[in-house]
Amino acid sequence: MTGQEQCVYLDFNASTPLVPEVIAAISSLFEIGYGNPSSLHWAGRAARDAVERARAQTATLLGCDPEEIVFTSGGTESNNHAIKGVYYSRVAAAARPHLITTRIEHPAVLNPCGFLERLGADVTYLGVDRHGQVDPEDVRRAIRPETILVSVMHANNEVGTLQPIAEIARIAKSRGVLVHTDAAQSVGKLPVKMQTLGVDLASIAGHKLYAPKGVGALFIRNGIRLEPLMHGAGHERGRRAGTENVLQIAGLGEACRVSESWVNNDRVRIMRDYFRQLLNNEFGDRVVLNGHPEQRLPNTLNVSFIGCRADQLLGKLDGIAASTGSACHSTHVEISPVLRAMGIAESVAMGAVRFSLGRSTTEAELEYVVGRIRRALS
């Protein structure tokens, strides 16, 4: 990178920086939050208060009761807890428990489902349309008497497409089936309320909404009983053993509080649409949108640059942080499973780049990136 080039971060779906309020919340506990939250004395009280304050803040953002929030180490653990917890708590009720998910889920959902298949579960992997959306009627048709769980992500991490979770939940509930959604990408970007979605379980990841890495939460609707993923003492009301990570939990809670003012803010969406217009004006038919044109995350723009490989393009954009879902090697490209499931032609999918914007993204940064792409493609 030359001295005239600058660093621009457009990979907020991968991870986000800590906002100042989160840093302050964590820092305030370095000296007073060292007690064990389970201890009854004064040192434990400060730590316990921080955890319960964060629980209330997280519940407020999700529109649920604080006691429905279980803190975890992140989205991966939350997904594993939800899927395996349902299976282990209901395995005795069915000869071969059946789960339903989709082909475009994050590996933190697909791999636990694959693990349960090896234990004897039956899993249906639903397809999606060319925009990356699941047809709720496919869910209806897939449900069987032995179905115990439907797990469909709220928003796809690669193309940003939103799924009709509320409709899927209504269908599943009418058949007595539990519903889980991986909401790691949508929480903090959109209004995500548990009552509106109608799900029984929902996963969130702290580092996707300006909280630290290594912390997350699982929403478990009151009345739902899961087998714990972590066994030990009675932490988190007996649902997740292990002494609570007070500092990071406090950071997650504060990030949720700050996000309240952002979920209805159109600024990031306006920046995303401005970026797309810049790309269209500059490259015309050489750039193609991947994902749903309207029902998608306000910050996500997945586009294919026709006639080039995404890895080679990003290699020429030193200093610009973006991502490609395809695995690129010296002689070939392994197309992203998400784009393949959407039926995107290989010649188009190989040029797919995901730009994910954040609260701090500026017009000047986007204009600079388009200029760099122009130079790279020339």
Per-residue confidence in pLDDT tens, the chain, 378 aa:
555 689 999 999 999 999 999 999 999 999 887 888 888 898 889 999 999 999 999 999 999 999 999 999 999 999 999 999 999 998 876 678 999 999 999 999 999 999 999 999 999 999 999 999 999 999 999 999 999 999 999 999 999 999 999 999 999 999 999 999 999 999 999 999 999 999 999 999 999 999 999 999 999 999 999 999 989 888 888 799 898 999 999 999 999 999 999 999 999 999 999 999 999 999 999 999 999 999 999 999 999 999 999 999 999 999 999 998 655 444 556 889 999 999 999 999 999 999 999 999 999 999 999 999 999 998
Domain limits at 255?
20-259
Could you tell me the CA-to-CA distances from 165 to 34, 103, 154, 311 in Å, in that order? 40, 16, 6, 33
- Of 217, 234, 259, the position where a domain reaches its end is 259
Does residue 134 sit in the same domain as residue 186?
yes
Residue 375 φ/ψ region, left for φ over 0, alpha for ψ in the -120 to 50 degree band, beta for the rest: alpha
Picking from 259, 288, 312, the residue at the C-terminal end of a domain is 259
Residue 3 lies in a domain: no
Q: Domain check: are 366 and 247 in the same one?
A: no
Question: Helices in the chain by DSSP H: which ranges?
Answer: 20-27, 42-62, 75-90, 107-118, 136-142, 165-174, 194-197, 235-238, 246-259, 267-283, 310-315, 337-341, 346-349, 363-377
225 shares a domain with 124: yes
Assess whether 331 and 356 both reside in one domain.
Answer: yes
Q: Is 148 helix (H, G, I), strand (E, B) or coil?
A: strand
Are 238 and 312 members of one domain? Answer: no
Per-residue pLDDT at 330: 44
Pairing, β 147-151 against β 178-182: parallel
Query: 65 and 131: one domain?
Result: yes
- Provide the annotated active-site residues: 328
308: which 2 tokens?
A: 């080039």
Q: Which residues contact 269 (CB under 8 A, 6 or more apart)?
A: 298, 299
Give domain status of residue 232, yes or no. Answer: yes
Q: What's the pLDDT score for residue 69?
A: 98
Q: Do 13 and 33 share a structural domain? A: no
Bridging pattern class, strands 216-220 and 201-205 = antiparallel
Report the pLDDT value the prediction gives residue 114, as an integer from 0 to 100.
97
Q: How far is CA 19 from the centre of its chain?
A: 19
Q: Which tokens is 54 given? A: 């964060």
User: Is the separation of the CB atoms in 95 and 146 below 8 Å?
Assistant: yes
Query: Are residue 152 and residue 103 in the same domain, yes or no?
Result: yes
Q: Which of 259, 281, 299 is the last residue of a domain?
A: 259
Quote the tokens at residue 138.
């496919």
Let me know if residue 2 belongs to a domain: no
CATH at residue 283:
3.90.1150.10
Specify the pLDDT at position 3.
55
CATH number of the domain enclosing 207: 3.40.640.10
CB 182 within 8 A of CB 154: yes
The structure tokens listed for 359 are 């609260």
CA–CA distance, 11 with 142 (Å, rounded to integer): 35
**Does one domain contain both 113 and 241?**
yes
pLDDT for 42 equals 86
Task: Mark whether 25 and 13 lie in a shared domain.
Answer: no
Tally of domains in the chain: 2
**Assigned domain for 56 exists:** yes
Asked, for residue 58, whether it belongs to a domain, the answer is yes
Amino acid at 68: E
Cross-strand partners of 182: 203
**Any domain includes 191:** yes
Q: Are residues 227 and 324 in the same domain?
A: no
Give the dihedral sign, CA 259/187/298/15: positive
- Asked if residues 129 and 342 have their Cβ atoms less than 8 Å apart, the reply is yes
Is 30 part of a structural domain of the chain? yes
Residues 86 and 217 in one domain: yes
Residues 192 and 154: their CA atoms lie apart, in Å, by 9
Q: Is residue 1 part of a domain?
A: no
Q: How far apart are CA 267 and CA 361, in angstroms?
A: 9
Contacts of 173 (CB under 8 A, 6+ apart): 179, 198
